[in-house]
Amino acid sequence: MDPEAARTARDSLDLVFHMSNILETGLDRHTLSILIALCEMGLNPESLAAVVKELRRESPTSSSSTEPVASPR
């Protein structure tokens, strides 16, 4: 990927992550990037949303965090 395309992709992910935070989805950047890639591959976004909701319903104790966990020093 050329540097300009990489910058555009990074900027796009930043924008999506910002919107995700405004909507309080609880999705982290990595998860969002995977979901975006799946949509780009042709998967239905509504179906992906349903899968995310179902996975959250099945394991309510393990929610995605937008903050990285600090490692002890």
For residues 2 and 39, is the Cβ–Cβ distance under 8 A? Answer: no
To the question of pTM greater than 0.85 for the whole model, the response is no
pLDDT tens, 1-10?
789 999 999 9
Using only C-alpha atoms, the chain has a radius of gyration, in whole angstroms, of 14
Domain interval for residue 9: 3-57
pLDDT tops 70 at residue 26 = yes
In a domain, 32, yes or no: yes
At 44, list the tokens. Answer: 């239905």
In a domain, 31, yes or no: yes
Position 71 in a domain: no
Nearest residue to 33 via CA among 53, 4, 6: 6
Within-domain flag for 68: no
Q: What is the separation of C-alpha 11 from the centre of its chain, rounded to a whole number of angstroms? A: 14
Using an 8 Å Cβ cutoff, are 31 and 64 in contact? Answer: yes
